[in-house]
Each structure stands twice: as structure tokens, then as C-alpha cells.
Amino acid sequence: MRPDLLTRVLSLLPERSDRPELQAFFAMLRDYPQRGGKGIRSELLLASARAHGALPGTPAWERALWLAAGLELFQNWVLIHDDIEDDSEERRGRPALHRLHGVPVAINVGDALHAYMWAAVWHAQVPGALEEFLTMIHRTAEGQHLDLTWVQQREWDLGEADYLEMVRLKTAFYTVVVPLRLGARAAGITPDERFTAAGQALGAAFQIRDDVLNLNGDPRKYGKEIGGDLLEGKRTLIVLHWLARAPEKQKRVFLEQMHRERADKATAKVAEIHRWLLDSGSIQYAQDYANAQATAGLALLAEALADAPDQNAARELLGQMRELATREA
Amino acid sequence: MRPDLLTRVLSLLPERSDRPELQAFFAMLRDYPQRGGKGIRSELLLASARAHGALPGTPAWERALWLAAGLELFQNWVLIHDDIEDDSEERRGRPALHRLHGVPVAINVGDALHAYMWAAVWHAQVPGALEEFLTMIHRTAEGQHLDLTWVQQREWDLGEADYLEMVRLKTAFYTVVVPLRLGARAAGITPDERFTAAGQALGAAFQIRDDVLNLNGDPRKYGKEIGGDLLEGKRTLIVLHWLARAPEKQKRVFLEQMHRERADKATAKVAEIHRWLLDSGSIQYAQDYANAQATAGLALLAEALADAPDQNAARELLGQMRELATREA
């Protein structure tokens, strides 16, 4: 994220305590934000604010920056809890927080960071922003519940529509829909209703692209472990498409591995499944699907921005959105 | 909690979904609130609102009720996460949420409930309430961090001052200080600064009383498992007082058990330690300490309420506070 935004995020978090245990706690609060996330959502929010007429240096821009800080804090507390829920090993090239400090402490750090997110929203003083954050958290939690409950119940009897519903809830709201809407609100403008459908399509494109990169991305650029989704037993469009077409024997091997806990999965078997997926047409299918969603989403977004006050900034926002949906890392 | 308050809490939570998984998720959100908590904090807030002149039926009372609903939602999401962090078995006579649905799902349910708490605060539209809730969450999380980090690092080299600092942060703010302050704010009055010191003393009395009941309470009245704190390796005033005076052999047995994970503790040994504690003077010492804190806290609270608009209600609030600090269950 941009350095001045990181400074703003950190300004909300406590730093020093006379008690060593609390000093350590405060360092944990500051850990994930300082690991250098890309700041995708805050950049989108700021681009939307500009397109809606908020000029850098004005009070509206200051409000947008507080909301952007709130989005970054949201992202960070959710990642701490997600990493526990998925038992991820790494985050942004370092061990996940619960692997450094244990699950109980990490849950509590995430909860405290969640509350600091509301301090950022409060600082913004933007009418309607609190409701936007509530919608974002609720849709994300509902999508997360679908994801978690399918993993826990070993549910693989799912169609592409199930995956898409999960992703629209889990990823699209916090990655695209709400950042677009918050940018408008920071500029004092009621968000265009079409942002929701546009953001759902673009959010799906973004997540499918992420699923593809998780299988075939460049480990030096991609912040998470390549193949991690397979180890965590994640449902993706790629896997669901492949499962519906795979030879019986491969399918059996896959389901047998997916019925095991992460630690009990056979590394060699998972590597074999990874190769089957890479060699199948399912990655191309998912990529084509993501491209179609991106095209539809961008067209809708262009329509929704046709009357935005700053058309140069609106074009920049569209360009930024296009890059996100087709990113390489 | 009083039935109309439960209705208000549940009115904020979603109930129906066409997707069975989300229907189940919504039922999980509603589970802890429906288990019949005592509503201690919300009653205290409402009593404080009355003492500050908020009359039932007025808009100020309506605001107090929304804040009370927020306190109850706070209590419930925190309990879900606490139960995971302490790996508790039971809550209010039923299995803890993570024992019913697994840790990942239960973390996510707690997060969603946390966000619904902010919806209640938003409904109240009380100036300063958001800051009160932020203070409450931060102090509680800091106290929880002390508690968790001592358990995790097997830290027993602690004095009574350490315990009291933990308890003031972890229990006093959300149980007494902030309910008292929110009641004043609902009535449109700036909270008296003495509520903080009074609430810290009364909160310590309340928690020490809870620690005593956890060892010698009536299992039919006390909502948690008797002796659960020992199994969870909790630091209490009783245990710290006893440890400083116990025979070397008992101390060794105690520390040996406390260095084990909950599941690896020897039931017979823990039962023996439980008896040593019951037979020691440490329970009486802690009870006397709690009584002294309660007396000091009540005197301070009476001073702080001397000019409150409704003196009858102020006396009721003091009576309620006295009962809490000396409760039998």
C-alpha cells in the first residue's frame, strides 16, 4: 500500500506500553499491515473517489483516505482470521500470525484490529460509510461460511453456480463493490446501483484469476504458497470443472486426498493432482470464464461511470480495474 | 436477559436464507444470544440510564435499549472467541460453539456477530457511544492478551498486582466501567470521571467472586464447569496467593499439571489440587479482597452518583452493583 496510507493505518494503532506483554501485543497488531500488502482495495477506493470528484488535498480526499485506511485494516484482520481458519502456512512471504504466536493469541489480535478498523471509519465522518462496512463484513462472512462449511463437511458435490455464489459473497463485495461505493460516498455522491452487478462480475474475475495463479503463478511474485489451495482443500472453478470431467481413477485419488486433513495429505499425491490440473483444459476454461466476467463487468462499470464528474479519473479507474482482473501476480 | 431486549438483539440478526448452509450460519449467529445469558451488563447500563434521567418510554430510553443490545452482542461474540481461545467445553449449559461446529466456522460466526454489534451501536445514534465501544473492546482485548500469553508461555511467576491489572483490563471495562458510562451517554449526560476507578474496583470484585465460584460454586446455578479455570490453567488471585504459600510438594504437582495441555492433565491430580485450594485459606483471602474492592468501589460510585438526576434510580443502581459483587451464581 502507498506509504502515506500505511502511516495513517499505523497512526491508529498503539505502539508503546510499559508492560512487555502489551508491547508485544501492539507489535502483533502492526505486523500484517507492515508486511507490504499491495493495497489493491484502497487504491480502487481512491480511484473511485477521484472519478467522483474528490480532489487530492481537499476534505473529501482526506475522508477517502480514512476510508481507505479502514479497508486496509479490514483486509488485515480478515487475513489473520482467514489464515487460522484455513490453517495457512504463510502470508506475504512470512509465517502466518497464528504460526508465530498460536491460535488463541492470533484470534484476539484479529479482533482488536477489527475494532481499530471502526476507528478509521469513525475518523472519516462519511454518511453511509458505516452501513457500507457492515454490508462488506456480512457478505464476506457469509461467503467465508460457504467456503469453510464445504471444506469441513467434505462437500464436493457442487456446481459452478455454487462456486460463483461463494465468490460473489466472499471476494466481490470487499474487493470491488464496496471500494467503488465508498469512493463515491467519500465524494458526497450516492453510489450508482450498477456498481453492485459490475463489482460482482469483476470480483469473480479477480478471484478466478487468483485461483489460477495459485496453481500456475510465479512463486517470486505471488504472495501465497503455490498449490496452497489444493492443500487447504479449496473449491475453485478449475477444480469443479476438472472434477466433472476427470477420469474415474484420478477423481478417486483426488477425493481420497481431499477427505484428509491438511497435515495428513500425501505430498506426492497432491503434486500429481496439481500436474493433472495443469495439464487439463480446466485452467484455460476458468481463465476464459474470468475474461468473460471481466469484459461484462468493465462494460457495466463504464456505463455506471458515464456521468461521473471526472472522466479522466473514471478512465484511470477502468484501466486499474482491467489490470486487476487480468493480473499476473 | 430481559425478553424485550433479546427480541431487539435478534431483530438485528438475519434469520432465513434459501441456501441451507446460510440458514445454518444464521442459526449459529442466534445460538449464544438465545442460550439465556443473565444480561448483567445490559441491566447495569439500563439502571445507569435511569439514574441519569432516562425514563422508560422516552427516546433516551430507546437509545439506551439499543446500546444495551450492543453490549449483549459484544458479550456474545467475545464469548464465542473466548471459548475457542480457552478451549472451553461448555457455555451456559450446552457445548461451546466451536465444539458443535469446529474452530474455523466458530471464529467466523464470532466475527459476523461482532459486526452486528456495531449495527446496534449505529441504531442508538448516541454521541460518544462508538468511542465507548472502542475503548471497551481495546481494554478487553489487552486484558485477554495478558491472560492468553501467560497461559501460552506457562508464566506463573506473577504477583497479585499482575492479576489485578489483567482483570481491570479484561473484565472491569466491559462489565462495569463502560455500562455505567453508556447509561449516562444514553441520557445525554457526560459520564462522571469517577466511574472508571469505581468500575475498576467493582469489576475486580466481580471477577474475583467469579473465580471463587468457579472453585466452590453450585453447579446447578453456575453456568460454567466447576473447576474449569484449573483445567484451562487460568491465573486467579486464589491460585497466586496459594502458590506463594503452598508446601513445595504441592507446588511441584501444581506446576507439573499446569505445564500440560488441557487434554493431557491428569484428572485425579487436578481434583487433588482443587481440594488443596478449597482447604487453603486462599479462597477466604480472595473473598476478603473482593469484599474490600466492592466496598471501595461502591463508595466511589455513590459519590459519583450524588448529583445524578434520579436519586431513587441511583440507589437501585447501587443495590444492583452490590449484588453483582457478592453474587452466589
Cell readout for A291 is 475474461
CB atoms A134 and B119 under 8 Å: yes
Strand partners for A94 = A91
A95: helix, strand or coil? strand
- What are the backbone dihedrals phi and psi of residue B94, each rounded to the nearest 5 degrees, phi first? -130, 165
Residues A238 and A212 sit within 8 Å (Cβ to Cβ): yes
- The pLDDT of A242-256, averaged and rounded, is 95
pLDDT tens string A57-88: 999 999 999 999 999 999 999 999 999 999 88
What is the model's pLDDT at position B225?
Answer: 76
Closest residue in B to A146 (Cα–Cα): B21
What is the model's pLDDT at position B250?
Answer: 96
- The pLDDT of A194-220, averaged and rounded, is 93
Number of domains in chain A: 1
Q: Judge whether B102 is closer than 8 Å to chain A, CB to CB.
A: yes
pLDDT tens string B260-318: 988 899 999 999 999 999 999 999 999 999 999 999 999 999 999 999 999 999 999 99
Model confidence at B37, in pLDDT bands (50, 70, 90)? confident
pLDDT at A325 over 90: no
pLDDT tens string B203-241: 999 999 999 999 988 877 776 778 888 988 899 999 999
Domain with A16 in it = 3-325
Best B85, B103, B107, B147 member to test A by mutation, with max A CBs in 10 Å, is: B107
Nearest to B198 by CA among B180, B185, B223: B180
Model confidence at A223, in pLDDT bands (50, 70, 90)? low
CB atoms A134 and B115 under 8 Å: yes
pLDDT at B127 over 70: yes
Which ipTM score applies to this complex? 0.94
CATH number at residue B165: 1.10.600.10
Query: ∠A28-A141-B82 over CA atoms, to 5°?
Result: 50
pLDDT tens string A128-167: 999 999 999 999 999 999 999 999 999 999 999 999 999 9
What is the model's pLDDT at position B327?
Answer: 79
Query: ∠B287-B178-B184 over CA atoms, to 5°?
Result: 120
CB atoms B105 and A152 under 8 Å: yes
- Report B:256-315 residues touching A (Cβ under 8 A): none
Q: How far is CA A33 from CA A74, A117, A144, in A?
A: 10, 12, 21
Residues B157 and B263 sit within 8 Å (Cβ to Cβ): no
B90: helix, strand or coil? strand
Q: Judge whether A118 is closer than 8 Å to chain B, CB to CB.
A: yes
Gyration radius of chain A's alpha carbons: 20
> How, if at all, do strands B90-91 and B94-95 pair?
antiparallel
- Report B:56-75 residues touching A (Cβ under 8 A): none
Q: In chain B, what residues touch A14 (CB-CB under 8 Å)?
A: 138
Q: Judge whether B85 is closer than 8 Å to chain A, CB to CB.
A: yes
Residue B130, min C-alpha distance to chain A (Å): 8
A74: helix, strand or coil? helix
